[in-house]
């Protein structure tokens, strides 16, 4: 689509640092918008419920930013170790992240932060479930603009064709499944479900666990239409790395969901 959102001319005295133009990339722009929206929602909810000051929210998001970067890069490396064995610097660029890596590194980071700051863990996780959806929606729109996470060839009514050589989709000038929009639509649907479940919540932590269950299921389905096969397979052409991780996430989450549900049900009947 439009991997470069716009360019701004740079004053002469700054050209040695930034070049002739300061380029604003669509992916980074949407990530920033998502982060602002996520911080705003989290700050409002945490301050309203737990009187948590903004500086604590700021510290939380800085911690999550670090965890997301490290986790996304670690999982990127694990998808194709031989590719980065002799090119470790390639991991340190702004390109290439694995969302599951970011998510699975952010979860323990959140747990540590909540416990150290004596916050109710499950209630904060419920807030972060909605926050994650908000940030991720913007992220998927950024993916669509940049052409990453692209789909396989398809000539259907809503196929999308990428032509800008700067974008990451391959091959160019060929109709593909708009998997980025599938992902954004899925996450919007999850967000709506979470807001509905919130009104009938049976136990703290339910929103976060519901998010994980729904995302793991939806991600496994969308993987069928993904065309960026460089992410690798556990079973060639049948089970991708992301589908394998989804299976593990779903299984572990389902265990904790029913465990907490049974516990809350027992408490209500006592």
Which residue ranges make up each domain of the chain?
A: 25-269
Neighbour count for residue 236 (Cβ, 10 Å): 9
Q: What is the rounded CA–CA span in Å between residue 173 and residue 195?
A: 39
Q: Strand, helix or coil at 114?
A: helix
**pTM value surpassing 0.85:** yes
Q: Judge whether 179 and 160 are in contact, CB under 8 Å.
A: no
Instruction: Give residue 270's pLDDT.
Output: 64
Instruction: Give residue 120's pLDDT.
Output: 95
Instruction: Give residue 6's pLDDT.
Output: 82
Q: Which residues of the chain have pLDDT under 70?
A: 14, 18, 83, 85, 87-96, 230, 270
Instruction: Give residue 94's pLDDT.
Output: 56
Inter-CA distances, 224 with 55, 238, 239, 242, Å: 42, 9, 9, 11
Q: Judge whether 145 and 3 are in contact, CB under 8 Å.
A: yes
Q: What is the rounded CA–CA span in Å between residue 245 and residue 212?
A: 12
Q: Give the residue ranges of DSSP H helices in 12-95.
A: 15-18, 26-50, 54-79, 81-85
Q: Judge whether 198 and 180 are in contact, CB under 8 Å.
A: no
């Amino acid at each position: 689509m439009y991997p470069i959102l716009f360019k701004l001319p740079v004053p002469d005295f700054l050209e040695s640092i930034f070049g002739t133009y300061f380029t604003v990339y669509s992916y980074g722009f949407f990530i920033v918008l998502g982060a602002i929206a996520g911080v705003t929602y989290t700050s409002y909810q945490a301050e309203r419920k737990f009187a948590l000051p903004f500086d604590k929210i700021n510290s939380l998001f800085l911690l999550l930013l670090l965890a997301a970067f490290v986790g996304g890069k670690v999982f990127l490396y694990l998808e194709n170790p031989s590719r980065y064995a002799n090119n470790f610097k390639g991991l340190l660029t702004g390109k290439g992240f694995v969302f599951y890596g970011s998510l699975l590194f952010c979860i323990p980071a959140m747990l540590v932060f909540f416990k150290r700051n004596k916050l109710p863990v499950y209630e904060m996780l419920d807030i972060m479930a909605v926050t994650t959806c908000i940030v991720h929606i913007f992220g998927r729109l950024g993916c669509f603009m940049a052409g990453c996470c692209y789909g396989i060839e398809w000539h259907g009514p809503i196929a999308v064709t990428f032509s800008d050589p700067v974008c990451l989709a391959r091959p160019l000038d060929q109709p593909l499944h708009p998997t980025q929009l599938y992902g954004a639509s899925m996450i919007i649907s999850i967000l709506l479900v979470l807001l509905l479940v919130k009104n009938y919540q049976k136990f703290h932590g339910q929103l976060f666990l519901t998010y994980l269950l729904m995302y793991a299921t939806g991600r496994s389905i969308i993987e069928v239409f993904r065309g960026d096969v460089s992410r690798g397979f556990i079973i060639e052409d049948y089970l991708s790395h992301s589908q394998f991780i989804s299976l593990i996430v779903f299984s572990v989450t389902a265990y904790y969901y029913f465990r907490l549900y049974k516990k809350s049900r027992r408490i209500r009947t006592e």
